[in-house]
Amino acid sequence: MPNAQKTYEVRRADLPVSCPMPDMMVWNSHPKVYLPIEATGKAKCPYCGADFVLVD
């Protein structure tokens, strides 16, 4: 898996959340997708399974 970290904490200032994130290796990653995190405070990338948690 190109991006080994599986859980990412994000802040409202970082919205909208997309995967892969800018600091992830993208040369062998999946297409960029935007994740709906505002309503529940969490989201999972449908491609790589990375979890995103809203912390503020």
Chain segment 12-46, per-residue pLDDT in tens: 999 999 999 877 777 668 999 999 999 999 999 99
Whether pLDDT at 10 is above 80: yes
Q: Where does the pLDDT of residue 2 fall: very low under 50, low under 70, confident under 90, or very high at 90 and above? A: very low
Largest CA distance in the chain: 31
Query: What pTM value is reported for the model?
Result: 0.80
Secondary structure string (H, E, C) spanning 1-56 = CCCCCCEEEECHHHCCEEECCCCCCCCCCCCCEEECCCCCCEEECCCCCCEEEECC
Residue 1 pLDDT: 45
Return the structure tokens found at 31.
């297409």
Whether pLDDT at 54 is above 90: yes
